[in-house]
Structure 1
Amino acid sequence: TKSAKRRLKKIGQRENRWMSDVNHRLTKTLIDHYGSNTIYALEDLTDVRFATEKSPKDQRYEIVSWAFYQFEQFLTYKANLNSSAVVKVPAKYTSQRCPKCGRIYKDNRDHELHLYTCDKCGYKSNDDRLAAMNIQFLGTLYRSGEEA
């Protein structure tokens, strides 16, 4: 009905405003905490598609709804105002590369337990933490001018 469509539109706009507010507050906190002349390394999620077909139908929207691009845009313009920079590092293998020995092996990552265990050096960590460590490492390489 017309009133139902109006209600859905109102709810959608409220969610968009909420997400924008959260992104603004997160980026402001990052800029304020780390100060000027900082390099922020973000994973380049261009053309990365989250596998929604493997998730329950009622949860698909939640998986793809966060505004990563908006977050990147907010952080970029605030970093530029603060004499800082945002670099995008390739997303390839960030959750499969061992930060200790550098081995890349897909089967070292257990998706069910969110655990990474290196078969070469024995390093163990949460796979999301591991990805964050690798993104930081790639950002450091960028800053020094080296290639990954």
Structure 2
Amino acid sequence: TEKAAKKRRYEMVSWTFYQFEQFLAYKANLNSSTVVKVSPRFTSQRCPKCGRIRKENRNHELHLYICDKCGYKSNDDRLAAMNIQFLGDQYYQGVKRPKFTKLRSAE
């Protein structure tokens, strides 16, 4: 996407994710499985141990997440995958639109 004109970047990236979604749905259907779409919001900012959501806990350059509340440490992509799995589990437990909500509090 870096080589694309700025106006076209979103279109190029969106098509890739859309195409990936179509492939996933196709393969899931062949295996009698279901693809569950969940909101990616806060998935790489939420601690899976204590639930704290804090943008500053994630270091993009090192791909590292360290929770300032409980000390949990992990790769940020792994953390996001764990949180996406958690949202998928919530869906199967009956939550119609599972998502994380950042609580507003004085810090």
Query: What residue in structure 1 maps to residue 37 of structure 2?
Result: 88
Q: Which has the larger radius of gyration?
A: 1
Query: What residue in structure 1 maps to residue 2 of structure 2?
Result: 60
SS in 1 for 2:53: coil
Query: What residue in structure 2 maps to residue 112 of structure 1?
Result: 61
Aligned AA (2:40): A
SS in 2 for 1:67: helix
Query: What residue in structure 2 maps to residue 6 of structure 1?
Result: none
Residue deviations 1:48-80 (CA, integer Å, cap 9, x gap): xxxxxxxxxxx7049965822111101102212
Q: Aligned equivalents of 1:143 and 1:61: distance in 2?
A: 40
Query: What residue in structure 2 maps to residue 14 of structure 1?
Result: none
Query: What residue in structure 1 maps to residue 48 of structure 2?
Result: 99
1:82 shift after superposition: 2.0
Q: Aligned equivalents of 1:106 and 1:71: distance in 2?
A: 27
Q: Aligned equivalents of 1:125 and 1:81: distance in 2?
A: 34
More helix by share: 1
**1:136-147 pair list within 5 angstroms:** 136-146=85-95, 147=98
Aligned AA (1:70): Q
SS in 2 for 1:125: strand
Q: What are the ranges of 5 or more consecutive residues in structure 2 without an aligned counterpart?
A: 100-107
Would you say 1:133 and 2:75 are equivalent positions?
no
**1:1-12 pair list within 5 angstroms:** none
Number of aligned pairs?
A: 90
Post-superposition, which runs of at least 4 consecutive aligned residues in structure 1 deviate over 6 A? Answer: none
1:117 shift after superposition: 0.3
Q: Aligned equivalents of 1:127 and 1:79: distance in 2?
A: 27
Q: Aligned equivalents of 2:3 and 2:31: distance in 1?
A: 35
Root mean square deviation of aligned Cα: 2.0
Q: Aligned equivalents of 1:82 and 1:119: distance in 2?
A: 42
**Percent identity of paired positions between Structure 1 and Structure 2:** 72
1:91 shift after superposition: 1.0
